[in-house]
Amino acid sequence: MHGQLLVSISSIFADTRGPAANLLRSLDGEGIPVSLLIAPHIDGHWHLAKDASTRDWLKDEEAAGRVLILNGFDRAVQGRRAEFANLDSHEARLRLRGATRQMAQIGFNPRIFAPPRWRMSPGTLEVLPEFEFDLAASTRGIHELATDTLHQARNLSFGEGFGAAKWWRRNIIHAAERSAARGNTVRLSVSGRNLDDKKVAHDFCKAVERAASAGAVPADYGVYLNHG
């Protein structure tokens, strides 16, 4: 039995939108769906609400069927630490309330949540259903919130706090291929910050290609919505 191949791009804002769009065109052309991780604030100075070009581009992508995933509130708020990695339920609720409210005001209502770097505290997982999310994605896998079901599948990333050096990229390519060959679901993600490096973009596409060739079935995170 074959697993799925889930591909995503994070850190999408004005400076990274162009390279992200280039990667989307490449993978779309190969029949590989790509989900986009978006946030209302990045780096303390960029605001999606104030960036009409990125906002319109994301709305066009969503209208065309692209899955958008809420990727936190302010990715820079805790410096180098992942924003939702250690929050208790109260703090997680406050940040989720702010993020969902601001996104709704500009026309976005994602049904899937993934914290920065995929690191999610138990308190965050506990309160997510209060905000009408159906799914959450973490380092552990895909969480169906209504049924408290976990589909185990670790994430393999370029950037996003995991590095993008040549040796790391090579290891991810091999890991993706091996995991797909075993019939596991393969999750591959890349930070938009790294996509201006053509070698990183090329190797990410290679990891996707190897996983698909080894049997992983291309899908997007929306495949788990209304699962079963």
pLDDT, tens only, 74-103: 865 444 567 899 999 999 999 999 999 999
Output 160 or 109, whichever has higher pLDDT: 109
CB 112 within 8 A of CB 221: yes
pLDDT above 90 coverage of the chain, percent: 87
Please name the residues in contact with 134: beta carbons below 8 A apart, sequence gap of 6 or more: 111, 112, 144, 145, 146, 224, 225, 226
Residues 214, 55: Cα–Cα separation, whole Å: 36
pTM for the structure as a whole: 0.94
Tokens standing for 94? 């406050």
Evaluate if residue 108 carries a pLDDT over 90: yes
pLDDT at position 77, please?
Answer: 46
Evaluate if residue 166 carries a pLDDT over 60: yes
**Structural domain that includes position 62:** 4-224
The whole-number average pLDDT for the span 158-175 is 92
Among 171, 154, 155, which residue's Cα sits nearest to residue 206? Answer: 171
pLDDT at position 1, please?
Answer: 64
Evaluate if residue 160 carries a pLDDT over 60: yes
DSSP string, the chain: ---EEEEEEE--STTTHHHHHHHHHHHHHTT---EEEE-SEETTTEEGGG-HHHHHHHHHHHHTT--EEE--SBTTTTTTS-TTSS--HHHHHHHHHHHHHHHHHTT---SEE--GGG---HHHHHHGGGGT--EEE-SSEEEETTTTEEEE--EEEESTTS---HHHHHHHHHHHHHHHHTT--EEEEEEGGGTTSHHHHHHHHHHHHHHHHTTPEEE-GGGGTT--
Evaluate if residue 228 carries a pLDDT over 80: no
The band of 226, judged by pLDDT with boundaries at 50, 70 and 90, is low
pLDDT, tens only, 175-196: 999 999 999 999 999 999 999 9
Q: Over the chain, what is the mean pLDDT?
A: 93
Evaluate if residue 154 carries a pLDDT over 80: yes
Number of domains composing the chain: 1
The band of 43, judged by pLDDT with boundaries at 50, 70 and 90, is confident
Query: Residue 43 maps to which CATH number?
Result: 3.20.20.370
Neighbours of 22 (CB within 10 A): 14
